[in-house]
Chain A
Amino acid sequence: NAGVTQTPKFQVLKTGQSMTLQCAQDMNHEYMSWYRQDPGMGLRLIHYSVGAGITDQGEVPNGYNVSRSTTEDFPLRLLSAAPSQTSVYFCASSYRELRGGYTFGSGTRLTVV
């Protein structure tokens, strides 16, 4: 099993550009979520989904959109990139029963110049 696959691994954007970070899981997990990790801040929740067609905002949703049209995919869209969005982005998924933990992707390192 591939687990959680994130693409791309690295990306440089210019201020104002838009892009989509891809996230796919093959474990039939109901829950999926996006986080950003900044130095000294731990990981912060951006958006999450409890199933196909259902999404909601986390702690830091501004500047990001998500959709969940299938169980497997949960893309994160940056509408108009800003230098403050320079970060490492992680996608994670889990079963509704949490005992197995959330499985994380390998991350996307995004730089906005």
Chain B
Amino acid sequence: AQKITQTQPGMFVQEKEAVTLDCTYDTSDPSYGLFWYKQPSSGEMIFLIYQGSYDQQNATEGRYSLNFQKARKSANLVISASQLGDSAMYFCAMRDRSGGGADGLTFGKGTHLIIQP
């Protein structure tokens, strides 16, 4: 089973609208961390937001928030008031120690977000 699933290969959104990017995960480790990264066409990986499995509140960072539904194993990224500069690939990732234990990240396949004027 895939550890991280992103079901939206691509999305088109009108500028200034809110965007929700879906991410579901699978782990048996009770202690895990969830991350979202942005990769613009220039190729760099930009850290957006982090949610720990024991965090009581949903993480927020400026226009980014993470809708964390632990029972559903869901960690959707919400971008409020989208901007043209938000056009990029977005990756959901997890650090856990199930299945052999690794202290690196497992990534989903990404969602290509295009903001239209």
Contacts and interface: CB of A to CB of B under 8 A. Distances in A.
Interface of A: 31, 33, 35, 40-45, 48, 50, 56, 58-59, 88, 90, 92, 98-104, 106-107
Nearest to B55: A99
Interface in B60-117: 91, 93, 95, 102-110
Nearest to A30: B103
A52 B103 CA distance: 14
Contacts of A100: 47, 50
Given A42-B91, A42-B109, A98-B95, A31 B47 contact: no
B3 to A, nearest CB: 10
Nearest to A47: B104
Contacts of B44: 104, 106-107
Interface of B: 4, 33, 35, 37, 43-45, 47, 50, 52, 91, 93, 95, 102-110
Contacts, number: 66
A43 B107 contact: yes
Nearest to A109: B43
Q: Please name the 10 residue pairs, one residue from A and one from B, whose CB atoms are nearest each other, closest first.
A: A101-B47, A104-B45, A33-B104, A42-B107, A48-B104, A45-B104, A43-B107, A42-B109, A98-B33, A50-B103
B43 A45 contact: no
B91 A43 contact: yes
B109 A40 contact: yes
A35 B81 CA distance: 32
A106 B95 CA distance: 21
B2 to A, nearest CB: 10
A4 to B, nearest CB: 10
A33 B106 CA distance: 11
